[in-house]
Amino acid sequence: MTGFRTLSSGLRALRPAAFGADPSGERLERILRSPNFADGVFRNPENARIRPDASMLEFAKVYFRKEERAHRAPSGTVPVHATTVADLARPAASGLRLTWMGHSSILAEIDGHRVLFDPVWGERCSPFSFAGPKRLHPVPLPLAALGPVDVVVISHDHYDHLDLPTIKALADTATVFAVPLGVGAHLEHWGVSADRLRELDWHESTKVGGISLTATPARHFCGRGLRNTQHTLWASWAVAGDEHRIYHSGDTGYFDGFKDIGAEHGPFDATMIQIGAYSDFWPDIHMTPAEGVRAHLDLQGGQPSGVMLPIHWATFNLATHPWVEPGEGTIAAAGAAGARIALPRPGEPFTPLLSRLFQ
């Protein structure tokens, strides 16, 4: 038994820093006490298959099929808005402004506060710099050019949402980090001090300045290393200021809980909803465009109010669908439902209450 412990410790010492750290101590005790943790793992609000609904060989055959691979990348250059420091220095005219940086990364300016969701400035969403899905468009502007951020919000610990180089850069700032339960272990391992972490279970809230942030349920999973212990939680987020309310879905499959989230924390001036990287191989953990629009309506009490910003598409090739399909599918689904959506270029600030939108 002693030899086994020594070997395990040696393997942990060799693993890449990007794998993060396992929860321990009081953090692990909180996890074990969570009502969402049972039989050694965090549980989804509804049953979900978290592995491909077929063999990995079947998935690989589809993913690497030559005639389809060409459609999973843009046919030309992805248009990126040349965001400037001056763009972001001007106060939002209505008190609410969103700047989509690509994938699920968004700078939200809400009632005088700045919230940065799932910031990924790295070139690859991978633990390695030489392999893994590579960015399909450049970041709109350097991370340092964003200016001060009041709070960084992380939805879960997958590489396309929690990026080691980005977190290390933000660790030297004064920002607060709001993260799901257990994710703080990764951040502390990478240099974020414990006093700057707000680590929440579902339905728990924290105040940062004049805004309230609540971790709300999502239907997904977690994991960064060679084995998935399900010891870190995944979440969507509801954020409320003095005048405005916004919602970020993180990654999630469709589930009835959107209605409950909307009833308790909505309606929202804007929702940021995952509509990309879906597949028949994993139908329970990512939404299709039609499901994303349905979730938006659920969050708004069934009414086509507020604005939906589609996220989790265009930046990384993570599934087998064509690159353009999430955007086109969202336009079609929103049109059929009478919902308003925004499709800004990466880096293009827009004001949900004032901008011209698709409807």
pLDDT category at 228 given cuts 50, 70, 90 is: low
Q: Which of 43-47, 88-92, 164-168, 248-252 has the lowest mean pLDDT?
A: 88-92
pLDDT of res. 226: 65
pLDDT of res. 91: 86
pLDDT of res. 71: 83
pLDDT of res. 244: 97
pLDDT of res. 37: 96
Q: What percent of the chain has pLDDT over 70?
A: 89
Q: Is 315 helix (H, G, I), strand (E, B) or coil?
A: coil
pLDDT category at 49 given cuts 50, 70, 90 is: confident
Mean pLDDT confidence for 246-254: 98
**Lookup result for tokens 């990764």:** 186
pLDDT higher than 80, residue 142: yes
Q: How far is CA 47 from the centre of its chain?
A: 21
Q: Which DSSP string corresponds to 86-138?
A: HHHHSPPTTSEEEEEEETTEEEEEETTEEEEES---SSBSSSSSSSSPBPSS-
pLDDT of res. 3: 34
pTM: 0.93
Q: Which DSSP string corresponds to 178-233?
A: EEETTTHHHHHHTT--GGGEEEE-TT-EEEETTEEEEEE--S-----SSS----S-
pLDDT of res. 85: 81
User: Distance (Å, rounded) from C-alpha 266 to C-alpha 264?
Assistant: 6
pLDDT of res. 310: 98
pLDDT higher than 80, residue 354: no
Give the pLDDT confidence of 151-197 residue by residue, as tens digits.
999 999 999 999 999 999 999 899 999 999 999 999 999 999 999 99
Q: Is 146 helix (H, G, I), strand (E, B) or coil?
A: helix
pLDDT higher than 50, residue 44: yes
**Lookup result for tokens 């599918």:** 329
Strands 176-180 and 197-200: parallel
Instruction: Report which residue type is found at 114.
Output: R
* Other CB atoms within 10 A of residue 129 CB: 11
pLDDT higher than 60, residue 127: yes
Rg (CA), the chain: 20
pLDDT higher than 50, residue 4: no
Q: Which of 43-47, 85-89, 95-99, 136-140 has the lowest mean pLDDT?
A: 85-89
Higher pLDDT, 246 or 8: 246
Mean pLDDT confidence for 249-272: 98
Give the pLDDT confidence of 194-225 residue by residue, as tens digits.
999 999 999 999 999 999 999 999 999 999 97
pLDDT higher than 90, residue 88: no
Q: Which residues of 222-237 are buried (b: 16+ CB within 10 A; e: fewer)?
A: bbbbeeeebbbbbbbb
Mean pLDDT confidence for 107-115: 97
User: Distance (Å, rounded) from C-alpha 18 to C-alpha 6?
Assistant: 22
Instruction: Report which residue type is found at 247.
Output: Y
- Residues in the chain, overall count: 359
pLDDT of res. 1: 31
User: Distance (Å, rounded) from C-alpha 305 to C-alpha 298?
Assistant: 10
Using CA of residue 87, residue 90, residue 94, residue 98, what is the dihedral sign?
Answer: positive
Q: Which of 12-26, 59-73, 93-107 has the lowest mean pLDDT?
A: 59-73
pLDDT of res. 225: 76
